[in-house]
Amino acid sequence: MQRYFIPEPYNGEDKVILHGEQFHHIVRVLRMKEGDSFYIVFKSGEAAIAEIQEISNEELAAAIVEWEHSYKELPIDVAIVSGLPKGDKLELIVQKGTELGANHFVPFIADRSIVKWDEKKGTKKVERWNKIALEAAEQSHRNVVPIVDAPIKLKQLLELSKDYDYKLAAFEESAKKGEKSAFAAILQEIQPGQSVMIAFGPEGGLSEKEAAMFEENGFILCGLGPRILRTETAPLYALSAISYQFELLR
């Protein structure tokens, strides 16, 4: 059943009014009619089945008929930090990372980022990333739509990281040296309700200078197994490990 996110919190209403893109998708694309149902998720996270009662030229009214009681979110808050990669790799990270449960995506302009970020032209790209996150959250039946930030500089990123309980940075040199315990140790230590930020470099990984700055600001440098992973693969590996630790094992 299709899932749609409502931009307002739940305030006790027994029906919802949809218009714009959601109305168009329901009526023009899916060709739903009165009596058909879909999921709605309010900004506050509550999800329910809604049944279409009335369709006009520009909007539809749907009644809330049954609340969804299962919660689909990871028990910890995960922020994925990606050194700005080439092409559409960040789109893949956002899409698949959303399906795997990330709450926040923070691109940053890394030393080895080949792409030159143009803030004036970047607005549409950030809008696209957030739309990808929305669609992936609908597809994977999540209760929360992750936020995708505009790319920031390392100094801003380090300031942002102060809000997180745990901080990790995947460092290729650590992996080459056989480091494989730090990531696993943090997953054992972190508790439900806490937060973790995990940073990944672009193509070529983090520079030695960046790794040192991360470490100076409370990040633990870690490897992610014996193989060197691509910039778009590493975040998905980490999220899969987190899901296994906090959802499948418990």
> Residue 144 maps to which CATH number?
3.40.1280.10
User: For residue 143, is pLDDT > 90?
Assistant: yes
Domain count, the chain: 2
Q: Which of 21, 38, 68 is the last residue of a domain?
A: 68
State which residues form the domain around 224.
77-248
pLDDT of residue 106: 98
Across the chain, mean pLDDT equals 93
Distance CA 76, CA 63 (A): 32
Pair 63, 115 in one domain: no
Pair 183, 87 in one domain: yes
Which whole number is the average pLDDT over 239-246? 96
Which whole number is the average pLDDT over 156-180? 84
pLDDT of residue 86: 93
Q: What stretch of H or E contains 186? A: helix 182-189
Pair 98, 61 in one domain: no
Pair 239, 149 in one domain: yes
Nearest-10 crossing angle of helices 182-189, 234-243: 40
154 contacts 108 by C-beta, under 8 angstroms: yes
Assign residue 30 the CATH number of its domain.
2.40.240.20
**pLDDT tens for each residue of 170-228:** 997 765 555 668 899 999 999 999 999 999 999 999 999 999 999 999 999 999 988 88
82 contacts 102 by C-beta, under 8 angstroms: no
Q: Which of 41, 68, 95 is the last residue of a domain?
A: 68
Give the predicted TM-score (pTM) of the model: 0.91
**pLDDT tens for each residue of 18-73:** 999 999 999 999 999 999 999 999 998 899 999 999 999 999 999 999 999 888 89
Q: Count Cα neighbours of 189 within 13 Å in the Cβ-side half-sphere.
A: 11
The helix, strand and coil proportions of the chain, stated in percent and rounded to the nearest 5, come to: 35, 25, 40
